[in-house]
């Protein structure tokens, strides 16, 4: 397996956003594929939409990398969510932490969020041109802002600290292994993602985009990456990003 992600690593004591830094660099020049930007203090980390990612300085992994996945069609860009989510689950599994993927790409342990992913793509024709992928993974953090609804860290679970360099090295290995699958084993990648989905085949409560609540069962994702849910009336509903929320009771 050829290593791509993390062959070149740029480390900064502090950055507002690793994704934003890579975007600005890529507007001026073309970084080599897999170039990774990491900081121990990300002050303005971003999530999907207007969401922010909180991270205490020197406690967690916050980094971004750039790929040129021209083998992935724009209609298949959910593959990026698959491989990155699974890589983080693989890494946590190596620490004996059982994690699941809350669609599309939040990583959960015990109904709490341990990691978030931000993927920003550019498209050329029918294929992806570039992807900047940001990861925030709570490692040593013990004190979270009250505004965060359900955070958790590796320390909370294992009650000991893990070296951040060790964690990065292991996670990069997992990321490269899973990225390799996007080229040669896409069906297996999707089925592995489905198996690891949060609340898969479990009756759960949800909120639609129009704020109506309903009960249903997650069956998986369709070819476009939409969430497949069977409601109480045995009807199949499909949901895109932000069209459905999980109702998680504290």
Model pLDDT for residues 29-39, shown as the tens digit of each residue: 999 999 999 99
Which whole number is the average pLDDT over 5-31?
94
What CATH architecture is 203-246?
Answer: Roll (2.30)
> How sure is the predictor about 248, in pLDDT bands with cuts at 50, 70 and 90?
confident
Q: Which fold has domain 9-195?
A: BirA Bifunctional Protein; domain 2 (3.30.930)
Burial class (CB in 10 A: 0-12, 13-18, 19+), 38: buried
User: How far apart, in Å, are the Cα atoms of 91 and each of 33, 86, 104, 158, 172?
Assistant: 22, 9, 18, 14, 9
Model pLDDT for residues 108-163, shown as the tens digit of each residue: 999 999 999 999 999 999 999 999 999 999 999 988 878 788 999 999 999 999 99
Give the integer Cα–Cα distance in Å for 122 and 132: 9
Helix, strand or coil for residue 127? Answer: strand
Question: Given CA atoms 109, 175, 179, 1 in this order, what sign does their dihedral have?
Answer: negative
Give the integer Cα–Cα distance in Å for 217 and 206: 10
Q: Write out the residue limits of the CATH 2.30.30.100 domain(s) in the chain.
A: 203-246
pLDDT at 71: 94
Which whole number is the average pLDDT over 228-237?
97
User: How far apart, in Å, are the Cα atoms of 70 and each of 55, 76, 114, 123, 183?
Assistant: 32, 11, 30, 9, 10
Higher-pLDDT residue of 241 and 217 is 217
Q: Write out the residue limits of the CATH 3.30.930.10 domain(s) in the chain.
A: 9-195
Give the integer Cα–Cα distance in Å for 196 and 85: 9
pLDDT at 49: 46
């Amino acid at each position: 397996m050829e290593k791509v992600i993390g062959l070149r690593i740029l480390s900064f004591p502090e950055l507002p956003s690793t994704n934003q830094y890579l975007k600005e660099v890529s507007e001026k020049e073309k970084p080599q594929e897999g170039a990774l930007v990491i900081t121990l203090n990300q002050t303005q980390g971003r999530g999907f939409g207007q969401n922010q990612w909180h991270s205490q300085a020197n406690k967690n992994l916050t980094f971004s990398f750039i790929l040129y996945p021209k083998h992935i069609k724009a209609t298949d860009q959910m593959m990026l969510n698959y491989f990155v989510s699974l890589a983080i689950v693989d890494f946590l599994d190596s620490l004996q932490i059982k994690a699941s993927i809350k669609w599309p790409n939040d990583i959960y342990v015990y109904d709490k969020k341990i990691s978030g992913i931000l993927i920003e793509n550019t498209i050329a024709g029918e294929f992806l041109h570039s992807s900047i992928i940001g990861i925030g993974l709570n490692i040593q953090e013990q004190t979270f802002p009250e505004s965060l609804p359900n955070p958790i860290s590796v320390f909370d679970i294992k009650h000991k600290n893990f070296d951040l360099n060790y964690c990065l090295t292991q996670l990069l290995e997992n990321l490269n292994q899973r990225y390799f699958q996007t080229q040669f084993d896409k069906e297996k990648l999707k089925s592995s993602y489905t198996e690891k989905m949060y609340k898969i085949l479990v009756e759960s409560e949800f909120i639609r985009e129009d704020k109506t609540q309903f009960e249903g069962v997650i069956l998986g994702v369709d070819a476009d990456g939409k969430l497949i849910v069977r409601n109480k009336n045995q009807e199949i509903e499909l949901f895109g990003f932000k069209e459905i929320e999980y109702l998680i009771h504290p």
